Structure 1
Amino acid sequence: MSPRHPSLPPALRLRARGALANETGRFESERREAFHDGWDLPEEERLLRTEVRTERPRSALTWNRSPDLPFDRSINPYRGCEHGCIYCFARPTHAYLNLSPGLDFETRLIARPGIAAVLERELRSRSYRVAPVALGTNTDPYQPIESTHRLMREILEVLRDFRHPTAITTKGTLIERDLDLLAPMAADGLLRVGISVTTLDPDLSRRLEPRAPPPARRLQTIRRLTGAGIPVRAMIAPVIPGLTDPELDRIVEAVAEAGAVAASWIMLRLPLEVAPLVRAWAEDHYPGRADKMMGRIREVHGGRDYDPSWGKRMRGEGIWSDLLARRFRLATARHGLDRAQPPLRCDLFRPPPRPGDQLTLL
């Protein structure tokens, strides 16, 4: 066990958290550290708990032009994520809120109530042109606080009413709550779901993703969704070289048996503050493998912890990346997961009538 990071107060107790530090965000002018004040008085131990604040959203749709992504718009009902996945590429976004990408990202969350009403307004705009919208691309929309805030449920009701093509990515089992909305959308060709499976090892999953459902429970979610007629793509993401890559073939087999109709993979990405967080995590949990893991990561990213270049950031490059891609192609072909999914339908999009709207003649 590595020594406690100076950003953490001595009496602060962590339970089921991914990050081991709470470094000041990169935009802050001052760096904060906990230190002993010289008083020989015992401090009362305090458990770090999750806090949720609210934000009034001015917009619901986020637009992107990334050539690496198959969508140009997304919706994020929450900022930060309680799942606490140490590898989460979204951690650096918390610095924009003057919060730490470390423990703040998984304990100081922001919910955006009213986002469904804002979304409805944007979809009714005369300038809006329909195309699939993605949910879960930054932080998980079905993280634990969704059970009380229900923002994802409200968003889905708007998308259903507008008959809008929708793609959801999650590792949360709360998605099963919304089967009554999701199944009819899937039946009309309006919905696809991606379930993230990083490892089949429950102990490794608990360390990597401390508050996310364990692997067996995610496989059960795939079964329940596919049983309701919802096409599920298993997302083997991220693949962590030197740690989870030996499981690639077994994960493909497991998700195929659970009913997934397609699969994809993404190489581990370590942008900005994520790299030191993952390095400290590896040295703490797997000290015998940490150097090999970080060395392999640098090999696939051109000698750096991360290469953000288009076309490289999702897959990496070099012999190890090529080997993983080849193994993935063979495994998905063997289990029938290499077929392309049909595009989501955009021709059904219709703004629903509002009370007082004039009826059309045709």
Structure 2
Amino acid sequence: MQVTSAALAPYNTFGLNHTAEQLVELTAREQLQRVWQAYRQTPLLLVGEGSNLLFTAPFSGLVLVNRLKGIAVTETEDAWLVAVEGGENWHQLVCLCLAQNMPGLENLALIPGTVGASPVQNIGAYGVELAQFCQQVESFDWQSGEYKTWSNEECAFGYRDSVFKHEARQHLIVSVTFRLPKAWQPVLGYGPLAELGEAATPAQIFEKVCATRQAKLPDPVVLGNAGSFFKNPKVVTAQAEALKLAWPKLPVFAAEPGVSKLAAGWLIEQAGLKGVKVGGAGVHTQQALVLVNLGGATAEDVLRLAALVRERVEQMFGVRLDPEVRMIGAAGETYLDEALACLS
């Protein structure tokens, strides 16, 4: 077990140059007990590929990087059960399932990050969410040093949300088991997928999703970013209808009864923010929902840009955007206003 202090730039796709006091790459479950015994009183940050993280300050604790690997498939009469270790790459899992004729996850292609990170945010795209296929999650409880298995219901999945995002105890997700029904149905209600028609195959959906994402979203190797920076906001349907009268082209989607979801990227673009810069950070010129590191950006640059975007959208539409990106301060999870306050 190698424990070192480390620069965090390789462990976050924004490419911000903060540091951690200690860092361990977890490659085998047998390491967990040893790491836990040594560092259970230390502030802990669990990291996969860092594709949804914004480090706002140097981290005063242990960064534990999940590199656990392994995939096992069990077939039942009506479904495939796919048990996946948390360090596996998400997109590679989608590709493997399609290659083995086990469809269902194709709408979630090219979402960056690891399988272990996917339940935390309940990742979703093009009308599909992870919660629809997650049968159970296995975690390591950092408080007790024991493993726990969570059913789908116990995960308390919501829009970009789950129990793992809010539990006071921190859980390292060591594996996720997916149930992919053999009675596959295409999900084509969002964006360009509707063009495919009801006869669309899983492979066609996969290809369309990949082409769409690649056309709109910057490669973090070229431009550091954490994907969609803000959640699509939910508002009461009456407010959505009023906004639609004023802005007829505003994309509005049904959510739960009495609630509608708005397209955050559209709101940001209409507020004239595409290409706006603060220091080395900018709003992406092709997808306004993405904030990017244009080169040499600091956490302060990104935070001030995010605050500017939130303020302009609220002024124009009366809608407050909430970040989807997880913000990590010196002692752990933080939020935009708190991180901004620490700058002053």
Same fold (TM over 0.5): no
Q: TM-score normalised to the size of structure 1? A: 0.28
Report which of the two has the higher share of helix: 1
Q: TM-score normalised to the size of structure 2? A: 0.29
Report which of the two has the higher share of strand: 2
